[in-house]
Structure 1
Amino acid sequence: MEPYRIKAVEPIPFLTPGQRAAGLAAAGYNLFRLDAAEVTIDLLTDSGTGAMSARQWSALMNGDESYAGARSYRRFEDAVRELTGHRHVLPVHQGRAAERILFQSLPVAGRVTLANGHFDTTIANVLLAGGDPVDLPGPEARDDAPHPFKGNLDLDRLAAHLAPGHPGPPAALVVLTVTDNAGGGHPVSPAHAREVAARARAAGVPFFLDAARFAENAHLVTRRDPAAAGRSAAEVARELFRLADGSWCSMKKDAFGNIGGFLTLQDDELAERCRNLLIATEGYTSYGGLSGRDLEALATGLAEATDPDYLADRESTTAWFARALQDAGVPVLTPPGCHAVYLDAAALLPHLPARSLPAVSLACELYRAGGVRCAEMGSLTFGRPDPAGGPDTPARRELLRLALPRRVYTRSHLEHVVRTAAAAAARADRLGGYRIVRQPPHLRHFSAVLAPETAA
C-alpha cells in the first residue's frame, strides 16, 4: 500500500463523451491545448504535477525572500551540493532554463551533442544554440527483449564520434539522461556511466547528466544491478553525480517541486559564464527565478526523493500498471521504469504509418473514450521536419507516454485508465490517422494544430 496518508483532496471533472469530442476538436486534436477542466485523469506529464508532502508545505513558511544571499538559497545549495558533489550550484526556474544557459555558454554552434536520448526541450535548446543533437541509443533499446538497463547508450557509436579524425562535426557535450525519458523511462547503470565518463574525458569532451529522475534511476539500479546489492538509492545517486563534470535537473520530477531546477558545474570558467547569463535572464544567482519558498520546498523534496519506502511503492505501482495494460491487450515497453508506462502505438495500430501519427491517434482515442490525457512520444514530438519542405524524418519509435504524477492518483484511478485503454485497443483497427495543419518551428507538439486525415 502507499506509504503515506492523504490530507487534502481536489475534485476532478467528469465530462460527457459529447463534451470530450467537442473539446478535442476545439483543441485541434492536440491534448496539450485542452484545458485542465476538460481532463478527468491527467497523465500528460509527471513534471510539476506531484503532491508535496506535509514537510514541504511546512518548509514554505521558512522561505527567506531576500533578493541576494537568502538563507533559503544556502539550504538549497547545501542540499544540491551534498547530492552532486559539484562546486557550483545555480538555481533555475526549471530544467529547460538550465539547458539554455549551459548550451549558450558552451561552444555548441557547429558541433554535435551526444546522448542516450535527448528529450524535447534539450533538442530545442541545442538547435537554438546552433548545434545538432545526436541520439545514440544502445542496442538493447531497439528491441523488446528484457534488459535491465535499456537507458544505456551505444558505446561503439560514441567511440566513433569521439575518435580523432572523425569526419563529422566535433562533439560539444556527452549527456546521459537518467532515466531515459525519450526512449521509455529506462535506467542507466553506474558501470556504463563510468565508461561513458572515461571515454568523454579521454576525448576532452564534457560529460553531463540530465538528472530529472535521478532518484528513480538510482532505485532501479539497486533492484537490477547485482553490484549495487545492499546499497541505498541515495548512495547510488551520489556516486553517479560524481562521475560527471556537471548536471542539470528539473526538480519538478523527483524532488516533488511544482517549479524549480538546478545547474551544477565543476569548471570554474564555465560556471562564471553560466552565472553571468543566469543573472541577465533568470535572476540573481541566489534565487534564479525562484522564490525563497520554492527553494525551501525543493531542498526538503531532495531529502524525500530517495526515501526507500516511497521509491518501492513508486516502482511497484508502475509495474502493476504495466501488467494490467498488457493483460488488457495493450502493448507496452518492458521492463517499465518508475515514472511512466509507454504504450507501443505502432504495434497496436500497424495500419497507420509514422506520417499518420499513430501515437496521436491513440492519445486522442484515450481522451475521447475516458477523459485520459497523455503525451505522444512519436513522430510529432521527435520527428524532424524537412527544411526543404519534403516529408518529415520519423521518430525511432511511435510511443505514447502515460506519466504518473507523484503521490496523486490511487489504484482505482489507474484502473479507469486500464479500462479506457482496453476499450481503445478493442477498436484499434478502426482508428484513423492525423495530419499537421499548423506548427511552430520548435517544440511543435506543444502547440501544433492537427486534424483527422479524412477531414478536408
Structure 2
Amino acid sequence: MKTIIEPFRIKSVEPIYFNTKEDRLHILEKAFYNPFLIHANDVLVDLLTDSGTSAMSSSQWAGIMQGDESYAGSPSFSNFEKAVKEITGFPIVIPTHQGRAAEKILFSLLGGKGKYFISNTLFDTTRANIEFSGAEGIDLLCEEGKHPATPAPFKGNINIEALKKTINEKGAENIPMVIITVTNNSGGGQPVSMQNIKEVSSVCRKNKIPFFIDACRFAENCYFIKLREKGFASKSVPEIANELFSYADGCTMSAKKDAFANIGGFLAMHNQQLAQQCRNLLIITEGFTTYGGLAGRDLEAIAIGLKEVMEEQYLQYRIRSIEYLTEKLSAAGVPVMQPAGGHAVYIDAKEFLPHIPVEQYPGQALVCALYAEGGVRSVEIGSLMFGKYDADRKLIPAQMELVRLAIPRRVYTQSHIDYVAEVIIDVFKKRNELKGLMITEEAPVLRHFTAQLNPVK
C-alpha cells in the first residue's frame, strides 16, 4: 500500500496554538535563537525530540491506573522487571528515572581520568556523563556512516578495525566499556547490524572489556535487521532482540523512546558486583532499588510499552513514515541522510547551507529558519551540540552538521508530516538568504540546551 495507515485510532486530542511568522520571529529573538528556550505552546509541530513525547496507548493508561505505589517490593516493579528480562535476558534490572540517570551511575563508577569509553557514536548526555567523570569518549563510526548522501544498510556500525587498533593503542586495561548505540542517533538514526554487534562482542571478550548496548531504540534497530540483514526475515522482532542482547554484558535504556513512556529508564546486566555498586549509588541519588526515581504507574506504563513497541504492524508504520518524509524531501532536492533512519529525518545542513561556515553553526541557522517559516521545532546535531575548542579557543567542529527532525511516536498524522515537508522545501528555495549565528553565552557542558546566540551581522 502506498498510503500510510496509522495502526491506531485517536480517542484523545490536545490543541495546537497557531501563530504568524511575525510572531515567531519575535519569539526566536526572545529565545536567543535557541529552540530549547521556546515555550511549547508557541510550536506548531514539535520535532525537537522523540524522547518522552510519545502518545501512550489505552492499555498504558489503564496500567497507570493500576500502578502500585508501594515504596518497596511493588508489584508494578515486578511487571517492569519481567518485561525487561524477557526482552534482554539480563538477570539484573535496575530502574532509573531516565536514561541519563543510568549513564550517570554507570560512568561515575567505571569512569575517571585516563579511562576511555569506545562507541559507534555517543549521544550528548552519554558523552557528557563520561567526560564529567574525567574519562574520554571515542567515536569509531564506520566509514559509510560519515557520508550522509551515500546509502548503505547499516551506517550505524562501529568500525571493527579501528576498534582493534584503539584497544591496542589505549590498552584494554584503560577501557572500562565499549558501548553500541542502537539505532545510532548522532549518526542519523542509522541501524547497527547483528553481524557488527557479534564482531564487537567477540573483540571485547577477547580483550576482557565489558560490552554494553545503549538500547533506547532497540525495537527500531531490530526491525531494520529483519528487513535488511540476511537470515532474519523470518524471525520475529522479540527473537531478534533476544539475540542482539545475548552478545552484550549489559545495557542502558531510556524508556522515553522505544517504550512510549513519558519518563523512565533502566540499567540491566549480568555482573553481580557491578550491580551492587550501581544499586548503592541508585539509593543515594534516585531511590530504592524497586522504584529508582519512578512512580509505580510509570513502571506499569513502561512494562506495557516495551511489549507494544515490538508489534510489527507498528514498526512497519513507524519506519515507513520516516521513509515517506525522507523521500518527499529528497525528491525536492533537499540533502537528507540516506537511507531514512528509524526515528527521525536528518538534513545535511552543510550541504543545505554551503555558504555558512561551520564556525557560524549552519545547523542551528537552519533550525531557526524552520521555526520562523512554519513553527516547526527541530534540533541541531552538529558543531553547536558536539563542537569543542582547542587551546586557542578555536572551534573543533563536529564530524557532520545535521538537523534532526525527531518524530514523536503515535502523535502526528500524515497531514502534519506533509506540512513539515512543505515548510522545509519553502526554506530550501530561499536558503541563500539565511545567515549564520554566533554564540553570545554558553555553559561548559551540554551547551546546546541553554546557549544564547545572535545572527551574524
TM-score (norm 1): 0.97
Q: Is the 8 A contact 2:361 2:383 kept in 1?
A: yes
Residue 208 of structure 1: aligned partner? 212
Residue 157 of structure 1: aligned partner? 162
Residue 447 (str. 1) matches residue 441 (str. 2): no
Residue 405 of structure 2: aligned partner? 402
Residue 366 of structure 1: aligned partner? 370
| Matches for 1:291-440 after TM superposition, within 5 Å | 291-386=295-390, 388-440=391-443
What amino acid does structure 1 have at the position aligned with 2:447? R
| Matches for 1:39-438 after TM superposition, within 5 Å | 39-143=43-147, 144-163=149-168, 166=170, 170-386=174-390, 388-438=391-441
Cα RMSD after superposing both structures: 1.2
Distance 2:238 2:151 in 1: 26
1:13 corresponds, among 6, 14, 17, to: 17
- Residue 162 of structure 1 deviates from its aligned partner by 1.6
Residue 35 of structure 1: aligned partner? 39
Q: CA offsets per residue over residues 320-377 of structure 1, 9 Å max, x none?
A: 1100111222110011122000000000111111111000011100000000000100
Q: Is the 8 A contact 2:181 2:213 kept in 1?
A: yes
- Residue 168 of structure 1 deviates from its aligned partner by 10
- Residue 34 of structure 1 deviates from its aligned partner by 0.3
- Residue 169 of structure 1 deviates from its aligned partner by 8.7
Distance 2:146 2:104 in 1: 30
What amino acid does structure 2 have at the position aligned with 1:149? F
What amino acid does structure 2 have at the position aligned with 1:357? Y
- Give the SS at the match of 2:428: helix
What amino acid does structure 1 have at the position aligned with 2:456? E
- Residue 17 of structure 1 deviates from its aligned partner by 1.0
TM-score (norm 2): 0.97
**Worse-matched range after superposition: 137-146 or 310-319:** 137-146
- Residue 109 of structure 1 deviates from its aligned partner by 3.0
Q: Is the 8 A contact 2:114 2:134 kept in 1?
A: yes
- Give the SS at the match of 2:366: helix
Q: Which runs of 5+ in 1 are unaligned?
A: none
Q: Which runs of 5+ in 2 are unaligned?
A: none
Q: Is the 8 A contact 1:70 1:292 kept in 2?
A: yes
Distance 2:449 2:21 in 1: 24
Q: Is the 8 A contact 1:209 1:244 kept in 2?
A: yes
Q: Give every structure 1 segment of 4 or more consecutive aligned residues whose post-TM-superposition deviation is greater than 6 Å.
A: none
- Residue 224 of structure 1 deviates from its aligned partner by 0.5
Task: Calculate percent identity across the aligned residue pairs.
Answer: 48
- Residue 107 of structure 1 deviates from its aligned partner by 4.3
Distance 1:169 1:349 in 2: 44
Q: Is the 8 A contact 1:110 1:169 kept in 2?
A: no
- Give the SS at the match of 1:100: helix
Distance 1:168 1:363 in 2: 41
Distance 1:178 1:132 in 2: 20
Q: Is the 8 A contact 2:94 2:290 kept in 1?
A: yes
Q: Is the 8 A contact 1:161 1:171 kept in 2?
A: no
Distance 1:233 1:184 in 2: 22
Distance 1:394 1:439 in 2: 16
What amino acid does structure 2 have at the position aligned with 1:80? V
Distance 1:249 1:178 in 2: 10
Q: Is the 8 A contact 1:106 1:270 kept in 2?
A: no
- Give the SS at the match of 2:66: coil
What amino acid does structure 2 have at the position aligned with 1:335? P
Q: Is the 8 A contact 2:111 2:130 kept in 1?
A: no
- Give the SS at the match of 2:351: helix
Q: Is the 8 A contact 2:253 2:266 kept in 1?
A: yes
Q: CA offsets per residue over residues 107-162 of structure 1, 9 Å max, x none?
A: 44321110000000001000011100110000111223221000001111100112
- Residue 167 of structure 1 deviates from its aligned partner by 7.1
Aligned length: 452
Distance 1:46 1:306 in 2: 17
- Give the SS at the match of 1:175: strand
